[in-house]
Chains A and B, each alone.
Chain A
Amino acid sequence: MELFRNTNIDFLGKKWYFLAFSLVFSLAGLFSMIFWHGVPLGVDFRGGTLVYVKYAHRPDPAKIHEELVRAGLKNARVQAYDKPENNEVLIALDIQETSEQALDRGKIQIIQALQSNAPAGKLDLNNASSLTILNYLLEKDPLHLGADANTRYTTVAQASVNYRDKQKGGVLGSIDELKGVVDPAVVASLQDGFFVSDFAVRNVEIVGPQVGKQLQKQAFLATGYSLLGMLVYLGFRFEWIYGVAAVLTVFHDTLITVGAFSLLNWEISLTVIAAILTLIGYSNNDTIVVFDRIRENIKLLRREKLADIVNKSINQTLSRTILTAGLTFLTVLALFLFGGEVLRGFSFALVIGILIGTYSSIAIAAPILVAYQDWRQERGKRPVAMPARTGSRQDGSKEKVKA
């Protein structure tokens, strides 16, 4: 099977359309970043408290918000999270409620507010880890064990927690549900010391202001170094203008991807930054494949104009470009559709980025090369945007090629 055979599309002739397309998307993103949503930063960068709570029944965000306000958390934001049948809500507090002195104060307040029905002196079994249960059992010793109490109760505590988390999705309806899992004497003892609330905390993220700033700086540095590394490597392997073209292209991709997050008002988390760095690598891949072909063709077709060589090179690599992009896109799409809520932002960045990255290596990188060439010629200089080095396998000639 073959999808693209001997295509001969004049890509460079359409550069004004490409430019317009890129401008529209970049400017829309930039506009949103400056005047509309800004760059929506996730809790990693902005600091604050996020508590993900799973309920035994369908939660009502408005009612939960009321409970939180009653407990004094006026600025808490409550929203449904993930698919409705998962009964999950996300409660967010701003950085003001997340001081460095008492980092988890907000979290404790949230849990206390939600546990309004808690009987005094009892612990919440739905929000206890096996270590807490183990300590309780060691103290009460319901099975009257002697020497090996520690190992036995560790197993018992682990079994209870496993049953709660793996079979019951994290929330027990009542302590009686443990009857089939552990000894009845243990269940009776647990009932003395524990109660079950109608929710379980699934995930907590608390980031202090200092870390947020530090991570912002690191994300910037990482992206910057990544681009710099690319520029240096391509400058070394090709000519500096190839490095510049590739970096400009990747910058364009990053801008549009971040712009998409801004337009949709989706938060940029650490994993989204990881996705963007991956895109920098990926988009660069695509660009290098085209550049490599240009370099090869320049040696073979010394008489042709650079614009024609570039066009030819793009066409020759087109089927590879589309196939690879399509296959990578398939895997990323699987991630976006099946990878779950935690990876949603990450896989979304990849979905957007792969589309843009593929487009840009054809529509941005190559025209930059040609534009530079034309600009040099206009100034009456000899075109030098040719590779000084060639692939080591061939002849190793160092001669600069005249166009």
Chain B
Amino acid sequence: MNKNLTWKLVLILAILVVFTIGIFGPPWEWAGKKPLQAVTDRIHLGLDLKGGTHLILQVQVNDAVNIDSDNAMARLKEDLRAHKINYAEITKPDPANHPDMMVIKGVPPEQRSDLQTIVADRLPEYVLTSGAENSYTLSMKAQSLNDLKNRAVAQAIETIRNRIDALGVNEPVIQEHGLGQYQILVQLPGVDDPARVKDIIKSTAMLEIKQSLGGPFSSQAQAYQELAGKPDAVVLPGRTIERSSDETGETWYLISRAAAVTGSDLRDAQPGTDENGQPEVKFTLSSEGGRKFYSFTSAHVGDSLAVVLDGKVQEVANIRDAIRDSGVITGRFTQEQTRDLSLKLRSGALPASINYLEERTVGPSLGADSIRSGVRAAIVGMAAVLVFMLVYYRGAGINADIALILNLIILLGFMGYFGAVLTLPGIAGVILTVGMGVDSNVLIFERIREELRNGKTPPSAVEQGFSHAWITIVDTHVTTIVSAAILFIFGTGPVRGFATTLVFGLAANLFTAVFVSRTIFDWQLSRKQRGEALSI
């Protein structure tokens, strides 16, 4: 055996070892694990195989833009007043489709440059364009608008992650989904009755503590009557209460627009019980929030305070003393509700509301069935190919079979190293890799046979066979990898798993069908007498 060949064999063995470790993990981690366990620790099973819930959420990013432009409008009004610039009104003409757009009407022409300076100084994210009759349109710069929307999605992902982590779901996937449509993909392995989790994810959990200016009123109409002449108040619904033993009714309150503290001022929230054993949520404020709350409550001793959650008044209490940094939320909660509420408050509010676009749940029993049938199909298909190659190509068939098995080991090892996800279509991809991988071997072997028929000696036939087939193999692999890569970019979940195995499988095939197979041929030839026939 010449030196070159020895090196090639050593290289192949080394690759075999490296990728076997990729599948099963390093030997020192094997202790006490079953082989199957070792494999699934490294190659993760997709949701369709292990069961769980797959959700696609749409973040209503316009909500976040509306909040931002509301704030901007409030700031602008203040500044205009401070600089004594006159205006008739500032409105948002189309908050649903153009949430960033504001129209300022009735600014006198001589104050135009003042207005421009204020916008440039105080609202650098907005641009001002003048329209007809002393009106101006204020809208957000495209770049800022984009940043704001992307920030909303990023923050929503963070919040949802906190909430799901607190629920104790193992290995959840929470990531941006799609191609810039502000969607989020959430995968929850092992959760197949997702109703409660979905509620927890979806609730915006916007906590505000505000001054109560009137109520409770027993109807909305009555509340609106009281609203007249109070520009800083809004009407909000409260809890349904039992008026008498057989009558329940709604309640309505007048609540101040401005909030004393909000959910972002919270440091912690925990479920607890009051002196009567009723479940409640205790919260503590951050030092900044505590300062705000103290100055508010000390100025309003004797007034009423409302705890507003997602636009609904949870409770109203009298301020007896200045409060610094803690409080409770009560309200006929069950224990589970207080647990969920404190979790949501701890994890922070969502920057925008959320819709569910897609929900897929796979029960674990289905996953187990799928694994069983997928593996069975793989074994049958693989065995059929291996046997056929042996029968058809005899000696060279062993060569092809070794290359195929090595191909599989490299494929699975790759997936182990990259922590790739194996889905049911992914298993199909493995099977297909076997079928398509053998193509390279067939191409080469048929070419070698042809060269032998043309009277070439075995070494030269092998040489010619490989060099002619190589170009074809590169072309065929490149085109298939191109379509698999496109599949990966456009696909999701299971389909992505398929594309992954196909790409890895074909890449490994380039190596095994050409390099490994060639080395085995060379090794066989080196042991033969000159002129002895090749078994092919």
In this assembly, does B475 line the interface, its C-beta being within 8 Å of a C-beta of chain A?
Answer: yes
Whether A271 pairs with B356 at a CB distance below 8 angstroms is no
Whether A338 pairs with B487 at a CB distance below 8 angstroms is no
In this assembly, does A70 line the interface, its C-beta being within 8 Å of a C-beta of chain B?
Answer: no
Instruction: Using A103-B357, A165-B363 as known contacts, list a sample of 15 further A-B pairs with CB atoms less than 8 Å apart, ordered by residue number in A.
Output: A1-B391, A104-B359, A131-B190, A203-B361, A207-B358, A230-B482, A281-B480, A281-B482, A282-B436, A284-B480, A330-B388, A331-B385, A334-B431, A335-B377, A337-B380
B residues contacting A by CB (< 8 A) are 48, 51, 56, 58, 167-169, 178, 181, 190-193, 195-198, 335-336, 355-366, 368-370, 372-374, 376-378, 380-382, 384-385, 388-389, 391-394, 424-425, 428, 431-432, 434-436, 438-439, 442-443, 446, 449-450, 453, 467-468, 470-472, 475-476, 478-484, 486-487, 489-492, 494-495, 498-499, 502
B contact residues around A330 at 8 Å (CB): 381, 384-385, 388, 435
Chain A nearest CB from B439 CB (Å) reads 4
B contact residues around A225 at 8 Å (CB): 486, 490
Taking CB as reference atom, which chain A residue is nearest B472?
A: A292
Q: In the assembly, what is the distance between CA of A1 and CA of B395, in Å?
A: 11
B contact residues around A222 at 8 Å (CB): 486-487, 489-491
Q: In the assembly, what is the distance between CA of A213 and CA of B149, in Å?
A: 22
Contact with B along A133-145 (1 / 0, CB 8 A): 0010001000000
Question: Quick check: which of A190-198, A339-347, A368-376 contacts chain B, the rest being far away?
Answer: A339-347
Whether A335 pairs with B431 at a CB distance below 8 angstroms is yes
State how many residues of chain A have any CB contact under 8 Å with chain B: 92
A contact residues around B362 at 8 Å (CB): 202-203
6 A/B residue pairs, CB under 8 Å, sorted by A = A103-B355, A165-B365, A296-B468, A324-B438, A327-B389, A342-B424
Whether A226 pairs with B482 at a CB distance below 8 angstroms is yes
Taking CB as reference atom, which chain B residue is nearest A219?
A: B490
CB-contact partner of B479 in A103, A129, A285, under 8 A: A285
In this assembly, does A289 line the interface, its C-beta being within 8 Å of a C-beta of chain B?
Answer: yes
CB-contact partner of B476 in A164, A288, A296, under 8 A: A288
Whether B366 pairs with A214 at a CB distance below 8 angstroms is no
Tell me what chain A mostly uses at the interface: helix, strand, loop, or mixed. helix
A residues contacting B by CB (< 8 A) are 1-2, 6, 52, 54, 100-101, 103-104, 107-108, 127-132, 135, 139, 161-162, 164-166, 169-170, 200-208, 210-211, 214, 218-219, 221-222, 225-226, 229-230, 233-234, 237, 270-271, 273-274, 277-278, 280-282, 284-285, 288-289, 292-293, 296, 316-317, 319-320, 323-324, 327-335, 337-340, 342-343, 346-347, 350, 391-393
Q: In the assembly, what is the distance between CA of A1 and CA of B393, in Å?
A: 7
Whether B483 pairs with A278 at a CB distance below 8 angstroms is yes
Whether B381 pairs with A203 at a CB distance below 8 angstroms is no
Whether B190 pairs with A129 at a CB distance below 8 angstroms is yes
Whether B443 pairs with A289 at a CB distance below 8 angstroms is yes
CB-contact partner of A200 in B365, B381, B382, under 8 A: B365
Whether A338 pairs with B380 at a CB distance below 8 angstroms is yes
A-B pairs, 7 with minimum CB distance? A340-B373, A170-B365, A334-B381, A281-B480, A331-B381, A328-B435, A331-B435
